[in-house]
Amino acid sequence: MTFEDLNLNTPLYNALNDLGFTTPTPIQAEAFNVVNSGADIVGIAQTGTGKTFAYMLPILKNLKFSTQEMPRVLVLVPTRELVVQVVDEIEKLAKYMNTRVLGVYGGTNINTQKQAIAEGVDILVSTPGRLYDLALSRVLQLKSIQKLVIDEVDVMLDLGFRHQLINIFDLLPEKRQNIMFSATMTEDVDGLINDFFKAPERVSIAVSGTPLENITQTRYNVPNFYTKTNLLKHLLNDVETFNKVLVFVSNKKMADRLFDTLDAVYHDELCVIHSNKTQNYRLRSIEQFRNGDKRILVATDVMARGLDIDNISHVINFDTPNYPENYMHRIGRTGRAERMGDAILFSTEKEQESVESIEKLMQVQVTLLDIPEAVEISTELIEEERPQIKERNNPVKRDENIGAAFHEKSEKNSQENKGGSYKFKIAAKYKKPKTRGDKNYNKRNKRK
């Protein structure tokens, strides 16, 4: 199949020719007719398979010119970086169309965004939080929305946006087309579909656990953080082979810790992104990594999800993810556009169970390699790796293994539930006023 088979219009064909695209990806080919028909759709496909074009091609094909100010198409994405990326993709497709596209997200001046909305917009791309703020301000009216797209919905729910999504659904017109794309199908995603979608058609291109065939996967059993760092440095010293490396860590604290550890050696080649960094810092880091100005990018799962960066030579899982689906998203950053890629996994003894879950999901065993002799095996442990000392006499942490010395309170120390009559006994004892506010009641009783 080629794009000619999709019966697009001339402006879209001109844009695709400029981009050099002639053949749709599987998700684009499968989803086109469903989105084009106006039916609700749930698309399941790996990150990096062209999901943005899969829903925007049929939407742009049917989006007629209009002078109305309020948007007709709403695209919700989980992060600011994805707003920027999706807007860029849409603008490439709509290059020869008179279509107004706007991206809004938190962390920037909301008044500037209000002004941009008031000038008129056809397609609005937003994060849930900023969209809800704009809707509550009454500057943005959502009753004109004809098509709702929720992209990377699994990430959105992982970030805790479910409540905001439900509030947004309440502001949208009931008669609309719902388009949802996700890399994984979870119970939360399924629940959202059942609650708000009307008999959606499901388009699934590949099982989420299926590894991409052009990615070589290997792993190392590593005892601790500092040994992982030594192994990572050993690999990164091969600049020719490891020429564009994305390093995944489990959380923001670990990202900063690893960045500080590597900075002394790879200062001019290293950048980091996580949600505590400012928007400008994150965008700059991504651009430096994308353009090749920086060779190594340290990132958390949430920040790197959905980012479209070409020619990544290696994905290194510095921490083994707790959820096997996250491993699939991580390694999907390399081996894109039919190029070969390499994925490397570091695992401590505590992470072995997660390794087994990953291999079970993929139905593939990841090749185990020996740590090179040149790598120093460290015995130093970070705080999270040190054994937890049980405090026997800590009154807050009660030891579950209670010995024979434990006994119940004595009878005299046990409190008795006096019931409702207790307050009347106290009132009689201390001569409380019978009438609230009667200050002279006790004085009169004393005279008697």
Q: Please write the tens of the pLDDT for every residue from 270-320.
A: 999 987 888 789 889 999 999 999 999 999 877 666 577 889 999 999 999
Give the pLDDT confidence score for residue 398 in this predicted structure. 53
Q: How many helices and strands, by DSSP H and E, does the chain display?
A: 17, 14
* Residue 260, domain member (yes or no): yes
Q: Is 213 exposed, middle or buried (0-12, 13-18, 19+ CB in 10 A)?
A: exposed
Kindly report the length of the chain.
448
Q: What is the pLDDT of residues 378-415, one digit of tens each?
A: 999 999 898 877 666 665 555 555 555 555 555 555 55
Strand 147-151 relative to strand 177-182, pairing = parallel
149 and 32 part of one domain = yes
Let me know: does 159 contact 82? Beta carbons within 8 Å: no
> What residue type is 345 in one-letter code?
L
Mean pLDDT for 144-154 is 91
Residue 221 vs residue 190, higher pLDDT? 221
Does 86 reside within a domain? yes
Residue 311: which H helix or E strand, with range?
Answer: none
Looking at the fold, whether 257 and 342 belong to one and the same domain comes out as yes
**Residue 235 and residue 293 in one domain:** yes
Domain match, 163 and 281 both: no
Quote the number of domains for the chain: 2
DSSP secondary structure code for residue 140 in this structure: S
Last residue of some domain: 358, 385, 412?
A: 385
Q: What is the pLDDT of residue 274?
A: 86
Q: Which residue range forms the structural domain that includes residue 219? A: 215-385
DSSP SS3 for 259:
helix
90 occurs within a structural domain: yes
- Judgement on whether residues 193 and 44 belong to the same structural domain of the protein: yes
Which of 147, 175, 204 delimits the end of a domain? 204
Report residue 266 CA to chain centroid gap.
Answer: 28
162 and 262 housed in the same domain: no
Of the given ranges (49-58, 171-180, 190-199), which has the lowest mean pLDDT?
A: 190-199
Q: Average pLDDT over the chain, rounded to whole?
A: 85
- How confident is the model over 47-95, as pLDDT tens digits? 667 889 999 999 999 999 988 999 999 999 988 989 999 999 999 999 9
Among the residue ranges 6-10, 116-120, 408-412, the one predicted with the least confidence is 408-412
- 227: domain CATH number is 3.40.50.300
With respect to residue 290, please indicate whether it lies within any of the assigned structural domains.
yes
> What is the distance in angstroms between the CA of the first residue and the CA of the last residue of the chain?
106
For residues 141 and 10, state if they share a domain: yes
Question: Of 179, 204, 229, which closes a domain?
Answer: 204
Average pLDDT of the segment spanning 365-371: 96
Assess if residue 36 is contained within a domain. Answer: yes
Domain annotation covers residue 80: yes
- Dihedral-angle region of residue 58 (phi above 0 means left; psi in -120 to 50 means alpha; beta otherwise): alpha
pLDDT band at 419 (very low <50, low <70, confident <90, very high): low
**CA-CA distance, 150 to 301, in Å (whole number)?**
19
If asked whether residues 91 and 220 sit together in one domain, one would say: no
Q: In what order do the strands lie in the sheet with 201-204?
A: 101-104, 123-126, 73-76, 147-151, 177-182, 41-44, 201-204
